[in-house]
Amino acid sequence: MKYSHMAIQYHDPLDRTFHALGDGTRRQIVAMLAARGACSATEIRKPFDAAQPTISKHLKVLEKAGLVAREIDGRTHRFRLETEPMKEATDWIERHRVFWEATLARLDAFVLAQDTPEDET
């Protein structure tokens, strides 16, 4: 059976955020925009050993996730970081971190209670 390449379509904003941040190059672009502020597409491409179309694809994924906003001035495209999607991702991670830490603490207490002899006479 032959499978054709099919792009995954994410409908939930959080899914798009995690998908976008799941790639190292895109995380580097986000870090660059966080450190420098708005940058042109040319400035963004400079540190990478990648062709312009490759960087453009990464920028489109970040843009679709709402992590960057594009401003066009003539032929210059400038990109700036949008932090709201990352805040939503951080909030999601924090809620789950708290849950799992509490769950693991209860498991630890249970295991320790099993290791303690009931009658030490």
What are the extents of the domains in the chain? 13-82
Q: What is the pLDDT of residue 9?
A: 63
> What would the pLDDT profile of 29-51 be if each residue is shown by its tens digit?
999 999 999 999 999 999 998 99
Mean pLDDT of the chain: 87
User: For position 10, what pLDDT does the model report?
Assistant: 63
Six token digits for residue 108: 């630890």
Whole-prediction pTM value?
0.73
Question: With bands split at pLDDT 50, 70 and 90, how would you rate the model's confidence at 118?
Answer: low
- Evaluate if residue 81 carries a pLDDT over 70: yes
Please choose, from the candidates 11, 38, 92, 83, the residue with its C-alpha nearest in 3D space to the C-alpha of residue 19. 11
**3.10.450.50, 1.20.1250.20, 1.10.10.10, 2.60.120.620: which CATH number matches 13-82?**
1.10.10.10
pLDDT surpassing 90 at residue 104: no
**In the block, residue with structure tokens 């062709």:** 51
Spatial distance between the Cα atoms of 65 and 15, rounded to a whole number of angstroms: 8
Which ranges of 1-121 does DSSP label H, i.e. alpha helix?
13-21, 24-36, 41-45, 52-64, 84-115
